Amino acid sequence: MVNINSSTIWTEKYRPNTFEGVVGQEEIIKRVTNLTTSLNIPHMLFAGPAGIGKSTLAIIVAKELFKDFWKENYLELNASDARGIDVVRQEVKNFARTKSLGNVPFKIIFLDEADALTKEAQQALRRTMENYTSTCRFILSCNYSSKIIDPIQSRCVIFRFKLLERKDIEKRIKLIAQGENLSLDEQAIETIYEGSEGDCRRAINLLQASASISPTITSELVNTLLSSAKPADIKIVLDYALAGDFEKSREKLLDVMLKESIAGTDVIKSIQKEIWNLDVDPELKVKLTEKTGEIEFRLVEGSDEFIQLEALLASFVLAGLGK
């Protein structure tokens, strides 16, 4: 069932190769299997959160259709990486120029994270889809189908992927643990599931990252890994400001932002969430949140996000003075 190739990244090594291997999306699998065996594939839109099998299913469709030549007949593009629709169009053009190999009359283009494209870019994509319908079928994936413009939605068969249940992810984790000779208890599985937030890729990555530290995987180890992903440092930045040390506060902020290459908009989100946990008057929390909103607005209007964040830190300095 699972094809064990030489890859040592488990999300790839244990990626299902056949329709039967996919967990959780029974109803979708049935319909897509029928379409594939009939060799009559429409454009498709796979909608749903990350890590529930959208890319996997697209690859399986290509493998089932083209067998050994699937790589020649399958183009995978990521809309959030490709620099603009022009790049997408050019790649599609180059790929669609030649006819498909074998007895399938079309090739498959998988455009991942299509909802990262702007409305204008999607309009351009729509035209591209029409131009190449005779030689290509598009499979688009997105997190939210509402972010895909109507004309594209109407040209696609939409498949809404379900969030994976705990038993689905557990099944996968246990299978891998067995294959890799890992020891892991129920509690560790529980922690991995919680940490994955229903994202199977993340669950497997978490398992492999844990296994890279120790083959005995405990809930504590998984938790430690999970906590290292959180930017706890924002709290320190705010603490310095509240204590009146503006210089230290801004220095720390710059450190945090540069080390993890965090954008200003992400910093302000963390600050906004953190305010409610601060040890200050509720009234002050409201004031600070109001200021945070104002600064988030200026962040969009201004040119230098760090200066805007400094202005927010200055408000915290003022709050620390009790004003």
Partner 1 sequence: MNTIPLFEKHRPKKLEDVKGQDIAITRLRAYLKAFNLNQAKKRAILLHGPAGVGKTTLAMALASENNYELFELNASDLRNRKKLDEVLKPSTLQKSLFSKGKIILVDEVDGVTATDYGGLPELIALIEKSKFPIVVTANDVWQQKFSLLRRKCELVQLKDLDYIHVLDLLKNIVLKENKEVNEDLLKGIAAKSRGDLRAAINDLQSIIHTDAEYVHEDHIHIREKAGDIFNALKSIFKTKTNKDTIETYNNIDMELDKIQLWIEKNIPYEYKGEALVKAIEYLSKADVFKGRIYRQQHWRFLVYQNFFLSAGISSALPDKVPGFTKYQKPTRILKIWMANRKNAQKKSIAIKYAEFCHISKKRALGDFFMVSLILDDNMVKKLELSDQEKAFLQDYKGALKVAHGLNKFALEN
Distances (CA, A) of 267 to 17, 253, 278, 292: 40, 9, 16, 11
- Closest approach of partner 1 to the CB of residue 92, in Å: 18
Cβ proximity to partner 1: between 7 and 37 the closer is 7
Indicate the SS3 state at residue 78. strand
Handedness of CA 56, 59, 61, 67 (dihedral sign): negative
Cβ proximity to partner 1: between 290 and 304 the closer is 304
Site string for partner 1, 219-258 (x = CB under 8 A): -xx--xx-xxx--------------x-xx--x---x---x
| Selected binder of partner 1 within 40, 103, 178, 261 (CB under 8 A) | 261
Cβ proximity to partner 1: between 151 and 294 the closer is 294
Binders in 127-146 for partner 1, by CB under 8 A:
none
Quick one: which of 58, 5, 11, 4 has its CA closest to 36? 58
Quick one: which of 265, 241, 264, 260 has its CA closest to 251? 241
- Closest approach of partner 1 to the CB of residue 40, in Å: 25
Residue 149 sits in the site that holds partner 1 (CB under 8 A): no
Neighbours of 98 (CB within 10 A): 11
Contact stretch for partner 1 (CB under 8 A) within 30-38, 74-82, 132-140, 145-153: 74-82
Residue 78 sits in the site that holds partner 1 (CB under 8 A): yes
For the residues of 180-195, what is the DSSP string, one character each? TT-EE-HHHHHHHHHH
How far is residue 272's CA from residue 295's CA, in Å, rounded to a whole number?
11
Residue 161 sits in the site that holds partner 1 (CB under 8 A): no
Q: Please calculate the CA angle 124-127-128 and round it to the nearest 5 degrees.
A: 85
Question: Residues interacting with partner 1, by CB under 8 A?
Answer: 7-12, 50, 55, 59, 76, 78, 80-81, 112-113, 116, 201-202, 205-206, 208-209, 212-216, 218, 220-221, 224-225, 227-229, 244, 246-247, 250, 254, 258-259, 261, 295, 298, 301-304, 306-308, 310-311, 313-315, 317-318, 321, 323
